Every structure is written in structure tokens, then in C-alpha cells.
Amino acid sequence: MADNRRIINIYKQGQGAWARFVLAAVVMAMVLWMLSAIYASFNSERVLLGKDETALKVSVDKKGKMSKELKIEDIANLPENVLALTIEIDGKVESKSLIDVKDKIVTGKRVLLAGNVTNPKVITAKRIAILKDNPPSEKIAVMEMAEWGGRGEAKNLTVEEIEKRFDDGYKLVLNADVQVNTWWYSSVFTVPGIDVPLSWGSLVVAIVFLACAAGTYKLLNKPRFADFLIESESELKRVDWPTKPEVVASTKVVVVVVILMMLILFVLDLVNATLIKDGLFKIFLPNT
């Protein structure tokens, strides 16, 4: 009968201990491995803001040649911060400013788009609000200009610094994707004393692991299942295990038999290959 004064009651404590321990260890090891794989399968970061968008896309025909012919309206519809295009004229690929591209089109030249035209993500008040609501863990790579078309300077800034420069009238575009932690890796709280952040993912894994441990404990203490393990261990103790000399002798026999079988199969394979190559091939296919 279970002792109700104990916090943890174990059915028939001390009986079948090894069978219970081994089974519990195997089950929990498998659970831990599966939870680790699940935890690692989630992406640690997601893109909050991409660094650019495609304004014009290259088209290629079936022969692999550029087929997107630029028109004046294509140039007119481009964002103001696009300053140059990669084009192909008379089979020559080069980078030209928008003014030069317009001149080529006006003079009747056939101008083909040779590279995707990307529209850099311009920092706006709306995007600053998005950054403030989802602050990234690292500084944001931006290109800072006093005016569009001016000389840019690459900088790594915090959200607060970006907001201040934006209010001061600077033109800012993203130099790299802005990434933030996914909810799975987002910190719930920091463990006091050791300053280790605990993420939602690790919290879920810990809860599932503890639930599996409780389920395993309950299963191992079910009378029917526990009695089966106890009887299995008692049967194993009655097994007449071979002695060390017997194990060594049996192992030697197995190794020798395996080596002999390998040699026999190798010789048979070599003989068959020789007969087929030098015998049958020369008879039926003399010219091969």
C-alpha cells in the first residue's frame, strides 16, 4: 500500500528498479532529442523591414537574352531615389544615370534593362513607428544623405538616432534588412542572479518536458505496467549468460566466417566479371 506521507509514492519501491530506470532514461532521452529538434527548427529571426523593393524587373527571352525594352514612361514612374540603371545597348552592358538613359531612348536607341531596379526602403515616419513598436536587438544599417542625389554616408544607428536625424531633415534609406527575434525566441523574463534570458520557446520546451516526465512517472507506477517490468527484470536475472571466454570464442568464430564469406563473394564476383567481359562480350559483341 502506498505511504500517503510521502510526496512521491512509488509502486513496489525497490522492485524492478533497473528496468524502470532504463526505460525512463530511454523515453526521456528521446523526448529531449525531439524537443531539441523542434526548438531548433523555428527561425530565430524574421525580417521586419526589407532593405529594398523591386521597382523594375529584368525579363529574359527563351534564348537567354534581355527582352525588357525601356520606355520613357518606365523612367518617369521610377522612385525619385533611383539614380542609375544597368542597361544593354547594342549588346554592351553598362550602368547609366537616368538622364543618360532618357537621352538614349529619345534619340531612338533600343535600350534593354540588364539588371533589376531596386527601390531602397526609405525611412518614413510610418516605418519609424514600426521600428519603435518592434525594436531590433542590434543597430540598424542605413545610408544617410542631406538630400536625394547627394553623397551618402553609411551608418549604424539606433531607432532613437534614426528618428532624430529624420526630424532634422536627413534622407535615410536602409542598407540591410531589419530583423527582430521571432516570438519563439523572444525573451519572457530574465532569470535573476545569472541574468540569462528565458524565451517563449525554452519555456514551452520546459513545460512539455516536465509533462512528459510526469506522464512517464505515472506510467511506470501503474500496477499492471510496473508488475510487467518487475517480472521482466526477474526473468533476466535467471538467464544463464555466457562467460567471458565463451563470448570471445563466439566472436572469433563470427569474425572468421564473415571474412571467409567476403573472400568467397569477391572471388565469385571477379570470375563472373572476367567471364562476361572477356568471354561473352567477345562472342556476341566483338566490336565493343
Spatial distance between the Cα atoms of 81 and 121, rounded to a whole number of angstroms: 10
Backbone angles phi, psi at 65, to 5 degrees: -105, 155
213 and 158 in a common domain: no
125 and 110 in a common domain: no
127 and 175 in a common domain: yes
Q: Are 16 and 230 in contact, with CB atoms under 8 Å apart?
A: yes
285 domain residue, yes or no: yes
Spatial distance between the Cα atoms of 58 and 115, rounded to a whole number of angstroms: 6
Q: What is the pLDDT of residue 149?
A: 54
Print the domain residue range for 108.
Answer: 52-120
Whole-number Cα distances in Å, 181 to 1, 61, 199, 200: 52, 41, 10, 11
* DSSP symbols for 202-248: HHHHHHHHHHHHHHHHHHHTSHHHHHHHHHHHHHHHTS-PPPHHHHH
6 domain residue, yes or no: no
The H or E element spanning position 118 is strand 117-120
57 domain residue, yes or no: yes
Q: What is the pLDDT of residue 1?
A: 45
Reduce the DSSP state of residue 149 to 3 states and report it. Answer: coil
Bridge partners of residue 112, in order along the sequence: 69, 88
110 and 143 in a common domain: no
58 and 116 in a common domain: yes
277 and 261 in a common domain: yes
Q: What is the pLDDT of residue 234?
A: 86
128 domain residue, yes or no: yes
- Within 13 Å of residue 167, how many CA atoms lie on the same side as its CB? 7
227 domain residue, yes or no: yes
80 and 23 in a common domain: no
Spatial distance between the Cα atoms of 190 and 206, rounded to a whole number of angstroms: 15
Q: What is the pLDDT of residue 210?
A: 94
57 and 116 in a common domain: yes
Q: Give me the number of domains the chain comprises.
A: 4
Helix spans in 112-199 (H): 125-133, 159-167
190 domain residue, yes or no: no
- In this structure, what C-alpha cell is assigned to residue 136? 531590433
Q: What is the pLDDT of residue 2?
A: 47
30 domain residue, yes or no: yes
115 and 57 in a common domain: yes
For the beta carbon of residue 120, count every other beta carbon within 10 angstroms: 19
161 and 104 in a common domain: no
8 domain residue, yes or no: no
pLDDT in tens, the chain (288 residues): 444 445 567 777 777 788 888 889 999 999 999 988 888 877 666 666 655 556 566 666 666 665 678 888 877 777 666 667 788 888 788 887 777 888 888 888 888 887 777 666 778 888 888 888 887 877 888 888 877 656 678 888 888 898 898 888 888 888 777 777 777 777 777 777 777 777 888 889 999 999 999 999 888 888 888 888 888 888 888 888 888 999 999 999 999 999 999 999 999 988 887 777 666 666 665 665
